[in-house]
Protein backbone atom coordinates (compact mmCIF):
# COMPACT_ATOMS: atom_id res chain seq x y z
CA UNK A 1 0.00 0.00 0.00
CA UNK A 2 2.79 2.52 0.74
CA UNK A 3 4.25 1.84 -2.71
CA UNK A 4 0.94 2.68 -4.37
CA UNK A 5 0.70 5.92 -2.42
CA UNK A 6 4.21 6.96 -3.46
CA UNK A 7 3.35 6.24 -7.11
CA UNK A 8 0.22 8.41 -6.87
CA UNK A 9 2.15 11.26 -5.20
CA UNK A 10 4.95 11.02 -7.76
CA UNK A 11 2.47 10.95 -10.65
CA UNK A 12 0.68 13.99 -9.27
CA UNK A 13 3.97 15.86 -8.96
CA UNK A 14 4.95 15.00 -12.53
CA UNK A 15 1.59 16.17 -13.89
CA UNK A 16 1.73 19.41 -11.87
CA UNK A 17 5.31 20.08 -12.97
CA UNK A 18 4.45 19.57 -16.63
CA UNK A 19 1.36 21.79 -16.41
CA UNK A 20 3.12 24.63 -14.65
CA UNK A 21 6.33 24.44 -16.64
CA UNK A 22 6.92 26.36 -19.83
CA UNK A 23 5.44 23.51 -21.90
CA UNK A 24 1.85 24.49 -21.18
CA UNK A 25 2.33 28.23 -21.13
CA UNK A 26 0.62 30.49 -23.61
CA UNK A 27 2.55 31.89 -26.51
CA UNK A 28 4.11 35.22 -25.50
CA UNK A 29 4.27 36.47 -29.11
CA UNK A 30 0.60 37.43 -29.17
CA UNK A 31 -2.34 38.46 -27.06
CA UNK A 32 -5.53 36.50 -27.83
CA UNK A 33 -8.53 38.43 -29.08
CA UNK A 34 -11.36 38.84 -26.63
CA UNK A 35 -14.80 37.48 -27.41
CA UNK A 36 -16.14 41.03 -27.86
CA UNK A 37 -13.42 41.84 -30.38
CA UNK A 38 -14.20 38.72 -32.38
CA UNK A 39 -17.89 39.49 -32.20
CA UNK A 40 -17.30 42.88 -33.87
CA UNK A 41 -14.57 41.78 -36.26
CA UNK A 42 -14.94 43.43 -39.69
CA UNK A 43 -13.80 41.38 -42.66
CA UNK A 44 -11.95 43.29 -45.39
CA UNK A 45 -11.29 41.55 -48.70
CA UNK A 46 -8.45 43.94 -49.51
CA UNK A 47 -6.65 42.75 -46.36
CA UNK A 48 -7.61 39.07 -46.66
CA UNK A 49 -4.07 37.64 -46.38
CA UNK A 50 -3.28 39.75 -43.31
CA UNK A 51 -6.58 38.97 -41.63
CA UNK A 52 -6.27 35.23 -42.27
CA UNK A 53 -2.74 35.21 -40.84
CA UNK A 54 -3.83 37.21 -37.80
CA UNK A 55 -6.87 35.01 -37.12
CA UNK A 56 -4.87 31.81 -37.46
CA UNK A 57 -2.30 33.21 -35.04
CA UNK A 58 -5.05 34.05 -32.52
CA UNK A 59 -6.38 30.47 -32.37
CA UNK A 60 -6.06 28.96 -28.90
CA UNK A 61 -3.94 25.85 -28.42
CA UNK A 62 -5.13 22.84 -26.46
CA UNK A 63 -2.75 23.76 -23.62
CA UNK A 64 -4.15 27.30 -23.46
CA UNK A 65 -7.69 25.95 -23.34
CA UNK A 66 -6.77 23.51 -20.58
CA UNK A 67 -5.00 26.18 -18.52
CA UNK A 68 -7.94 28.56 -18.93
CA UNK A 69 -10.29 25.85 -17.70
CA UNK A 70 -8.06 25.15 -14.71
CA UNK A 71 -7.93 28.85 -13.88
CA UNK A 72 -11.73 29.10 -14.00
CA UNK A 73 -12.11 26.00 -11.84
CA UNK A 74 -9.45 26.99 -9.31
CA UNK A 75 -10.64 30.56 -8.84
CA UNK A 76 -14.45 30.60 -8.44
CA UNK A 77 -14.45 34.14 -7.04
CA UNK A 78 -13.09 35.49 -10.32
CA UNK A 79 -16.66 35.54 -11.63
CA UNK A 80 -17.51 38.24 -9.07
CA UNK A 81 -14.17 40.04 -8.82
CA UNK A 82 -13.40 40.32 -12.54
CA UNK A 83 -16.38 39.19 -14.65
CA UNK A 84 -14.78 40.17 -17.98
CA UNK A 85 -11.69 38.04 -17.39
CA UNK A 86 -13.85 35.17 -16.14
CA UNK A 87 -15.97 35.30 -19.31
CA UNK A 88 -12.90 35.41 -21.54
CA UNK A 89 -11.36 32.40 -19.76
CA UNK A 90 -14.68 30.57 -19.98
CA UNK A 91 -14.89 31.27 -23.73
CA UNK A 92 -11.33 30.06 -24.25
CA UNK A 93 -11.77 26.87 -22.25
CA UNK A 94 -15.08 25.98 -23.91
CA UNK A 95 -13.70 26.53 -27.42
CA UNK A 96 -16.07 29.41 -28.16
CA UNK A 97 -13.18 31.70 -29.12
CA UNK A 98 -11.83 29.19 -31.64
CA UNK A 99 -15.35 28.76 -33.02
CA UNK A 100 -15.57 32.49 -33.74
CA UNK A 101 -12.13 32.44 -35.35
CA UNK A 102 -13.14 29.50 -37.57
CA UNK A 103 -16.36 31.30 -38.49
CA UNK A 104 -14.49 34.42 -39.61
CA UNK A 105 -11.96 32.33 -41.55
CA UNK A 106 -14.79 30.54 -43.36
CA UNK A 107 -16.53 33.83 -44.13
CA UNK A 108 -13.29 35.30 -45.49
CA UNK A 109 -12.82 32.24 -47.71
CA UNK A 110 -16.41 32.45 -48.93
CA UNK A 111 -16.75 36.21 -49.44
CA UNK A 112 -13.25 37.05 -50.66
CA UNK A 113 -12.07 34.99 -53.63
Note the Cα 60 to chain centre separation in Å.
4
Residue 17 CA to residue 31 CA, distance in Å, equals 24
Is 74 part of a structural domain of the chain?
Answer: yes
Contact 23, 63 (CB under 8 A): yes
Is 44 part of a structural domain of the chain?
Answer: yes
pTM for the model stands at 0.67
Number of domains in the chain: 1
Is 46 part of a structural domain of the chain?
Answer: yes
Per-residue pLDDT reduced to its tens digit, 57-74: 888 889 989 998 999 999
Confidence of residue 16 (pLDDT cuts 50, 70, 90): low
Domain that holds residue 71: 32-111
Predicted local distance difference test score (pLDDT) of residue 22: 47
Predicted local distance difference test score (pLDDT) of residue 110: 93
Amino acid sequence: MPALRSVVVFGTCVIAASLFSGCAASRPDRVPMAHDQLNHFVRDCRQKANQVAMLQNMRQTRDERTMAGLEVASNPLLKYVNPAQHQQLQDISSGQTNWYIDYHLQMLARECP
